Amino acid sequence: MGGWIKKQFILLAGLAIAAAGIYIGGQAGVDYKEFPVIGARNAVWIVAQTMLLFAAFILAVPVFVMIIEIAGYVKKDEKLDKLAKDFARLLPPSYSITAILGGLFTLVSCTLFPKFMNYMTVAFKPTYALFAALVFLESTAVYIYWTTWDKLQCEKKMQHILLGLVLNILGTLVMITANMWGSFHLSPAGVDSAGKFVSLKDAIFNLTFWPINIHRFIANVSFGGFICAAYAAYKYLSAETDNEKAHYDWMGYTGTFVGVVTMIFLPFAGYYFGMEIYRFNAQMGITFMGGALSKIWLLQAIVIAVVFIGICYYLWLGLERIPGSEKYKKYIPYLSWGLIIAFAVWATPRAWVASLEDMAGGTHPIFGTVGIMAPKIAAVNIAILGVILTFLLNRRAGRIIPEGRKAYSFIQWLIILLIIAVNLVVLYYSYTVPSTTRIRLSIYTFIFMVPAIGLIYLLDGLLLKNAPRTGEIRWGHMPPRSQYALIAVAVSNVWAMALLGYGRAAARLNWHVYGVLEDTSKYAGLPALGNATLVISGITLLFLFLIGLVFRFTGAEKGGAR
């Protein structure tokens, strides 16, 4: 009971800070205030993005914890239950940090940007009360879920799983409520021509509301998987016994699997989000995807390349612990070169030139037409396919496939070849059509990719179901560099999340609420990309420091290896 009181005290402290911010903002006699040294915009930016990173983490962890717990219950596997519990132990301290950061964000925002926050408070006042109630319920659910883990076992296990389901529903509702405000900033609805608020329902269900919900949910689960994998890597490197190493090796692989499986679908959700931005306002879409903000997508390509290649490198090293994997190692050079070439195409700029003369004739003399969107989309799809193939090899290594199931493998390879063929055909054809048709072709390609990837995973599950192994996986037999790869992947993922948070907010340019409430402060307009990357790097370091404290002071039970 004392733990619950402590947690609620932390939560109430966060809410009190938020309430103080709203009160201070409401009493302000000026539209904007200044913050020493770093400036008002950077102060809000740093606190907001750090809070969002923690919010993403505490939303994601319960999702795959519940899935692992259900799998353990169905299979009667205590090791899976212990794995789920080890992931879940990161929740209580992370939730406390999120609550404090949320309150601090509200205080800083209301104090420094009272004009904007007053407008949002008037417009969305009922949702603020709903948000506070949901956060309180979620906090209580986290405490009950964690403290009853050992009590609700055996015949009572289903009760604990239901608690996990309630926790996930509450966490998702908290995210959706917050996304009401974020999506309204981008694509406001429910206002008249003068910007006066007239309909809460229309304001909530604006054009980007559902796209941002879908995109953030997938991104958050992927992000949480990679952070948990980094936690496992940290524990692996400091483990003192073989049993501990085996357990944390398995934990790191599971976190990576969660991160990758969800991340593969993230580009499709991102393009759906981008399409709705274009539908709301074509000029904002151009700014976001092809105008002033186009360079962030090149930075994103480089960072995602680190993530994808880092994951594959970890999995390639993981073949060493699987008996009978030798025949699959010959594919590694081809996969690595395929990924390098795909990401080189994705990261090829079209408009970064030394002089205007370089662009005479409409295309770069060196890059030519490689830098346009058509080859980039094909490159992204093929890079995703490369990661999928790496996972398939890792899963299939050391397995004895029954003769009657080899048809599944044949169909899988047909789908893989079809994916490559479709992307190359669309790539070739897209050079012969106008840009509007090219955009539609890219949409059709993504629509094709989603069910194709799902079918590949489904066939893989059927192929490997109860397939015997040539030998047991030697969990814990991974070189230290494999764990550093997991940590590098997590760090890169944090930086990418912060980068895209900057892009989404910067798309509004000099508007607090696009086309409705203008930013008339001295910070109005687009932050310079160089300055933005410095702030993003600072946010990344701050988050890593705070999550490092969570790692450091989150103890785990001894023993229990995979």
| Domain range list for the chain | 2-322+473-553
In the block, which residue shows the tokens 């966490």?
A: 171
Conformational region of residue 378, where left means phi above 0, alpha means psi within -120 to 50, and beta covers everything else: alpha
Q: In whole angstroms, give the CA distance from residue 477 to residue 408.
A: 31
Closest CA to 168 of 66, 81, 39, 269: 66
CA 427 – CA 519 distance, rounded (Å): 41
What CA–CA distances, in Å, run from 233 to 9, 237, 253, 263? 32, 6, 10, 20
In whole angstroms, what is the distance from residue 227 CA to residue 151 CA?
Answer: 28
Residue 530 burial (CB count, 10 A): 7
Tens-level pLDDT at each residue, the chain (562 residues): 445 444 444 555 544 554 554 445 444 457 888 888 899 999 999 999 999 999 999 999 999 899 999 998 988 888 889 989 999 999 988 988 998 898 889 888 988 999 899 899 888 989 999 998 999 899 889 989 998 998 988 888 999 999 999 999 999 999 999 999 999 999 999 998 888 889 999 999 999 999 999 999 999 999 999 999 999 999 999 888 989 999 999 999 999 989 988 888 887 788 788 888 888 888 887 777 766 677 787 888 889 899 999 999 999 999 888 888 888 888 899 999 989 988 888 877 765 544 444 444 455 555 556 666 667 778 888 888 888 899 888 888 888 888 888 888 899 999 999 998 988 888 887 777 776 677 677 777 877 888 888 899 889 888 888 888 888 889 998 999 999 999 999 999 999 999 989 988 888 888 999 999 999 988 888 788 888 999 999 999 999 999 999 988 876 554 444 4
404 token code pair:
């009657």
What dihedral angle (degrees, nearest 10) is formed by the CA atoms of 13, 18, 19, 25?
150
* Rounded Cα–Cα distance for residues 245 and 251 (Å): 10
Integer Cα distance of 479 and 88 in angstroms: 26
| DSSP structure string for 202-248 | HHHT-TTHHHHHHHHHHHHHHHHHHHHHHHHHHHHHH--SHHHHHHH
Residues 6 or more apart from 183 whose CB is under 8 A from it?
206, 207, 208, 209, 211, 212
- CA distance linking residue 449 with residue 472, whole number of Å: 34
Buried b (16+ CB within 10 A) or exposed e, 202-222: ebbebbbbbbbbbbbbbbbbb
With beta carbons less than 8 A apart as the criterion, state whether 496 and 300 touch: yes
Determine the pLDDT at residue 283: 81
**How far apart, in whole angstroms, are the C-alpha atoms of residue 500 and residue 206?**
21
Distance between CA atoms of residues 46 and 536, nearest Å: 8
pLDDT score for 353: 47
Q: Which residues pair with 517 in a beta bridge?
A: 513
- What are the tokens at 306? 């680190």
For 300, the token pair is 């994103």
pLDDT the model gives residue 328: 85
* Calculated CA dihedral for residues 122, 126, 131, 136, nearest 10 degrees: 120
Let me know: does 10 contact 99? Beta carbons within 8 Å.
Answer: yes
The predicted structure's pLDDT at residue 506: 86
- Other beta carbons less than 10 A from residue 146's beta carbon: 18
Looking at residue 330, what DSSP letter applies?
A: G
* H or E element in which residue 517 lies: strand 517-518
Q: What residues have CB less than 8 Å from 85, skipping those under 6 apart?
A: 149
Distance between alpha carbon 510 and the CA centroid of its chain, in Å? 27
Q: Is the pTM of this model over 0.85?
A: yes
